[in-house]
Every structure is written in C-alpha cells, then in structure tokens.
Amino acid sequence: MSTALKVKWFEGSKGKIGIAKVQNDEGTYEFRISSVDGFLEHMDVQQIVAWGAPFPDAAGYALFAGET
C-alpha cells in the first residue's frame, strides 16, 4: 500500500491542490498531484495517493528538498 510521507498544499481561484511525496509498495518514492475539496485533510491525502496524477520527479524532489 502506498503511503503519503509529506504533502504541500496550494490554494488558488479554482480551489485547493495537493502534491504528495509518496512511498510506494516497492519502497521507492514518487510524487502525485490532485485537486481536492479541502473539507477533511486525511481524506484529501488519501485521494491524492489513490487517484492523483503523476507529478514530475525532478520537480517533486525540488519541491520537497531538505525535508525528510
């Protein structure tokens, strides 16, 4: 089961967006992005992990640089 390790939240005129650093079943990292409703954060995180679109690795590592 994939697990979100960190999430960055962004808000704009069209709503809330989350980008998550996810550890997948193989133990490697990937990044996922999704719009969310912003009502319950834990449900939003689950949505990003399960149905989020792939986010480019280079951009993900730059976004989460210095964070464990």
Using the 8-state DSSP alphabet, how is residue 13 labeled? T
Q: For residue 2, give the 3-state DSSP assignment.
A: coil
Q: Determine the Cα–Cα distance for residues 17 and 2; give it in Å rounded to an integer.
A: 19
Q: How far apart, in Å, are the Cα atoms of 23 and each of 26, 27, 53? A: 8, 6, 15
| pLDDT, tens digit, 9 for 90 and up, residues 12-63 | 888 999 999 999 999 999 999 999 998 999 999 999 999 999 999 999 999 9
pLDDT of residue 1: 81
Contacts of 6 (CB under 8 A, 6+ apart): 20, 21, 64, 67
